[in-house]
Chain A
Amino acid sequence: MALERALATGPSASRERAAFRLPRIGRSQFAAAGLLAPAVFATIVCLVIPLVMFLVRGVSNSEIVTALPTTIQSLQNWDGQNLPPDETFARLAEDLSVARTSGKLGELGRRMNIMVPGFRTLVMKTGTQMQTVPAEPRTALIEIDKRWGEPEVWQLLRQESGRWTDSYFLASIDLKRTPGGDIVQVSPDQKIFVGLFVRTFAISISVTVICLLIGYPAAYVLASASPKWVGLLLLLVLLPFWTSTLVRSTAWIVLLQNEGLINRTLRALGIIDGSLPLFANRFAVLVAMTHVLLPYMIMPIYAAMKAVPADQMRAAGSLGATPPRAFRRVYLPQTHAGVAAGSLLVFILALGYYVTPAIVGGPGDQMISYFIALFTNESLNWGLASALGTLLLLATTLFYVVFSRFGRSGAGAH
């Protein structure tokens, strides 16, 4: 009885559910919590804590603070005009010498290279020559590399001397700080991330809509198929899951290229003369991503459709509704939850895809995750990777909140 009430849908059911009371906490509840505890613990340790650590990287400036402690302190007393006093040069020489022996030089070089390209070599070159602190640090340092004689270098160093930095988040939206401290746009030939975010969302939304348009009818066929055919149809939907994504994406290369199977066949049949541009463009990206993500749309909608009683459409017809009206007023609203779940799943998965667009797309189809992967794996610029990832996470959470409201309001609307 309680179970039936909990599973019932429809307007009266929600009113009844509101009146449904939980039993008092008893021993069975403690046992249930005990069984759940390992899962909660694992989630906290293996997901939440690493996630927080990663997010912190987006604002962390620990490399400079650990490698150049006395230099940073000395720079606080500098007024920012011309060059800092001799004492600061001496502190820098000392800090670099310590960093060289403690093995922190590479990390510092990497961090400073993010500030200005070329600074990695500056740090490595200067640091490796700091076996002993020179007698005249200012002249010695400038002799090793004349960049130490430029005020901008020292101003940037002073700017980035805090434990925390906003440079990664600024960079992730194409902004930067001048040596004077103002926030400006980066130069036009470096401006890429805002456009990438817009493009990533545009592609993901397009793929979601296409998957919905194809997936809804497919799920309907699946849900209303006779038991004889359901097995085979389900197999056809799930079969792509059993092939690697990379293999499927590369298969599209063979099909879609100018000299690929499709163009050659069309030419052989005499339908076209040259080649259709099917590859290395947005079309190819949408096709390949839809191919990969379609099962994720079909399955939740199929599950929602299976829950709709088969005789409701007939009942609506007997009450005077035309088939389109019956579909719109009776069938469609009950599949809202499935549509919302499938769309959300496809959208979130599409946001994170970069291998497929990289393989089949053109230069104008790169997605943001490509750069997140580049910064994580190759350049080890985890600060910028984290900042970009955090923005993506925030946007995704926002969409989730909006979508889940849509799903809930859709189900309880009548």
Chain B
Amino acid sequence: MGAVRLKIACVAMLMAGVATAASARDLTVVSFGGSLQDAIRAAFITPFVDGGGAKVIEDTYDGALSKITAQVETGATKWDVIDVESNQLLQGCQEGAFEQLDHSKLGDLSKVLPAAKDFSPCGVGFLTGAQVLVYDKAKLADGPKTWADFWDVKKFPGKRGLKFGPKNTLEAALMADGVPAADVYEVLSAEGGVDRAFKKLDEIKSDIVWWKLGAESIQQLASGETVMATAYNGRVVAANRDENRQFEMAWDAGSIYFLDYFAILSGSEKKEDAEKFIAYAIGAEGQREFPSHIGYGPTNLAAFEGMDAKVSAELPTEERLASSVFRDDKYWLDHNDELTQRFNVWAAQ
């Protein structure tokens, strides 16, 4: 009996030890992996930790909101700071998956884009990315300048690459139909707006090559599969730099830009450290360092002061953003399911 009791006591102590070790975890920052996570590590995490901030461990995920809500619902939160896209931020905030941020704890936000700090009370934007009109200057010396050119198969014969799905594609179609960037969502949500966009897409339907993964649109341009395409600006910059490509981005056509946000998981036990990390990430120093690692732009305009001109030439600057459409994820949150079904029916015909 004594031996059994001793064994039980040992096991209980071991389990208690394991439990306490598990709860004393480090600040966990989560993003999408790959070059984006490398850039976050180089520009934010490493300087933050070196500068005396809390110890940080990383994790990756694929962006599925279900992974976040599952943790919050079961109470077993193991993540703290998460890199979320705008639609997940909106939906997660509405459903209580994220903490409300206290802007007073995040440092000087005076030069931060309104789209970054006012979009949602649960997150702060730390990078601007855009889907731009891209073509290979090596193959097309005089390339397309507007979305109308993208739709002009006589002037620029060849296949076009577009992202498979209603998001970004319907906006591009409306801009090709003459809608100014500022009015795109007004027209899209009005009566007949969606029909107009699909009708415009019908005009070049047989010349479209659909891409699904970000790397695909670049690969199609590089191999000559498409003569022009929409692509994420960060990937275009990476392809030009790492593979010696001459991809040209037609910023004047008007891009569709979006932000990535940092949010804090609801119920996180590292909330204070998480706020300090986010404050560093949107501070001028972190924001200035970030674009040199990946071609996305800063959300804190103070970062442009003192930035290498070669780097800032490739970024979504204030002027370029002014002529672009800010992807309205409130609209997409309402209509994504319905329009994805409609898009699939249309595309399969």
Contacts and interface: CB of A to CB of B under 8 A. Distances in A.
Nearest to B195: A189
Interface in A86-134: 103, 105-107, 109-110, 113-114, 117-121, 124
Interface in A161-219: 188-192, 195
A260 B216 CA distance: 13
Interface in B223-238: 223-225
A362 B155 CA distance: 27
Contact of B340 (A103, A124, A195, A374): A374
Interface residues of B, number: 35
Nearest to B210: A363
Contacts of B164: 363
A379 B94 contact: no
Interface residues of A, number: 40
B65 A190 contact: no
A191 B340 contact: no
A362 B210 contact: yes
Given A106-B91, A106-B96, A377-B66, A280 B337 contact: no
Interface stretch (A53-61, A230-238, A251-259): A251-259
Given A260-B223, A364-B348, A377 B216 contact: no
B300 to A, nearest CB: 28
Given A192-B345, A257-B225, A358-B212, A380 B91 contact: yes
Interface string B73-102: 000000000000000000101111000000
A270 B250 CA distance: 37
B35 interface: no
Contacts of B69: 380
Central interface residue in A113, A260, A358, by most chain B CB within 10 Å: A113
A378 B223 contact: no
A117 B65 contact: no
B341 interface: yes
A359 interface: yes
B319 to A, nearest CB: 31
B332 to A, nearest CB: 10
Contacts of B224: 259
Given A107-B95, A259-B223, A379 B337 contact: yes
Nearest to B92: A106
Given A120-B334, A259-B223, A280-B209, A110 B91 contact: yes
A366 interface: yes
Contact of B66 (A109, A253, A376): A376
A381 B65 CA distance: 12
A192 B341 CA distance: 7
Contacts of A363: 164, 210, 344, 347-348
Given A259-B223, A376-B66, A378-B64, 19 more contacts: A106-B93, A110-B91, A113-B334, A117-B335, A118-B335, A120-B333, A120-B334, A189-B346, A190-B341, A191-B345, A192-B344, A257-B225, A260-B223, A358-B212, A363-B164, A364-B347, A364-B348, A375-B337, A380-B95
Interface of A: 103, 105-107, 109-110, 113-114, 117-121, 124, 188-192, 195, 253, 257-260, 280, 358-359, 362-364, 366, 374-381
24 contacts: A103-B95, A113-B337, A117-B335, A117-B338, A118-B335, A120-B94, A124-B94, A189-B345, A190-B338, A190-B341, A191-B345, A253-B216, A257-B220, A258-B225, A280-B210, A359-B213, A363-B210, A363-B347, A364-B347, A364-B348, A366-B348, A376-B66, A379-B337, A381-B337
